[in-house]
Structure 1
Amino acid sequence: MSGDRRETPDRTGPPDDGGPDALFEKLKAYEGQPAAQAARGRDPVNTPMIRHWCEAMGHPAPPDGSAPATMLQVWTMPGLDRGRSARASAYDELLGALDEAGCTSVVATDSEQEYARPLRPGDEVGYDAVIESVSPRKTTKLGTGYFVTTRMDIRRAGDGALVGTHRFRILKYRPAARSAPRARRPRPVVNRDNAGFWEGVSQHRLLVQRCDACAALRFPWLPGCNACGSDSWTAVEASGRGTVYSYVVMHHPPFPAFDVPYAVALVELAEGVRMISNITGVPHDRVRVGMPVELEFLRVDDELELPVFRARTGDEEAAR
């Protein structure tokens, strides 16, 4: 397993302030000290666990009934309620020193295994781990920190025969400062029933449907007339002028693509149909029922433009 390792030495600045890399000198002293001592595997090697692992990984079960060699780490995993029980104090001190220096984030970067002999159902394992190395301070795309490598020697309980070796490398780092990109506005759902409306928007035209049988106007777009049921219709352009029939001011829940609070109104067009959209050109707390509005098209991003309604020029004071 490998992470993004594009790195360069960083001898100045954070995470420490005690010289070029005073923290590294402190961390280096932990090399060779234990990371885990006299630990035992939680369960003996067993056939059900081998079967479940092989099914989950799509790995063929060894015909002799032994555990696949790549299962090695499974037999040393302590479980959620025993995650720290075998850790040596030196390893906790090392991680604590990194936390105090601001390197509070962690990502696994490498895992290497060497296999000496197979494990069979009924075998039990024990292991010891050592802090093998700590890198000088590194700057990666994730942030600035230190690579810590531990080596675990896994032995068969009873005769102490070496089963395998597992090296595990993590990066403990201070995350790089990033400005989060603004979330995109949700995309409208365009289908065969409303495609004509969105084509009109792309041409800066507000199109509604007029029934060819009874001349009733309708919005939103529907496949059939809700007055007489006819499925024959013609698209006609609305004037874009109207009044606020009703409205709400959105405060919660916040959504990254919208700056709360903002007003969402049900606008009654001059033609008599109503549509929901945002009100612009006036603060949210100045929106009122009956406010005159007119259509405008708001460019949200490079791909999306939406019809919204602005308080009509000259009418804002009257609406206050």
Structure 2
Amino acid sequence: MTPEEQKAFEDKLYAYVGVEVCSRKPAKDAVNETMIRHWTEVMGDNNPAYTDAQWAAQSRRGKTIAPPAMMYVWNQEGYSVASTGRASDPQTDMVEMLTEHGFTGVLGTNVKQEYFKEASPGDTVYVEMVIDNISERKATARGAGYFFETLATFSDQNGDKLGTQRFRVLKFIPQEQPAAAAADDKLEVPTRIPSPRGHDNGWWWNAVDEGKVLIQRCTDCQTLRHPPRPMCGECQSMAWDSIESTLDGEVMSFTCLRHPKIPGYPADPICAVIKLAEGTNIVSNVVGCDFEDVHIGMKVTGKVEQVDEKTMLPQFYPAQAGA
């Protein structure tokens, strides 16, 4: 773009700052025990304040509450959006304008939530959203682009503020990689991002390197936990050992990461939350089948395999029928 064209473009872009994406509207369903139970099961969150009515009745609240991090869940559009598409609004209009001007890449960079009040079953969560700010044009490793941030405010049926969520997105012009780079035998073949290994989880990754998946176990109350952490969430003991997983499990949730292609990773990897037979959950890849064949409740069995020249990882295959 010429300087004049860029100024005209940015005048249109920055006009979206402060524009309302949606006015205050209620969720289709009230806060309810069923969705709370499903969410806490997938997250592995056993806080009795969320699902144990008897325990909650004796607490200072006198009732169960929804996990604060579920705040954004209640107002989601639902599965129908996948087939009908999202209704046009100022945010989609702005994103389309950026795309039309060559900013075809998109990357969610961070989310920040603040909580002010708890919601309980029976409450109705309302949401309203604005485009809060748009950055100047930035040069990033992904390419030149603009960061924009939406601000969603959540309240209950009485108008009391429950919390806010800031969601920041980068829309950018993808950098072109030199065609000759793929043929340059002097370049190192990309590998997966190495796992961060620290004091609390290094032992777990070392076991994976040896072909085993271990599950941390509290030696005081015998509660299993994953991912590894120094303290038991049930009894707060710091004493622990581990057991080896059979790697038998079932799919609790899954998605396919189609775009953008990440160097060192296979195309369209299937990423899933797997509930292991021992009772803990693990995030891993489902392989050996097509995405269309994966379903919630699908039985899988895992293997620790070498996925590139530097990395060993557990991967899960569809279990054999009758196995």
Structure of larger gyration radius: 1
TM-score, normalised by the number of residues in structure 2: 0.48
- TM-score, normalised relative to structure 1: 0.48
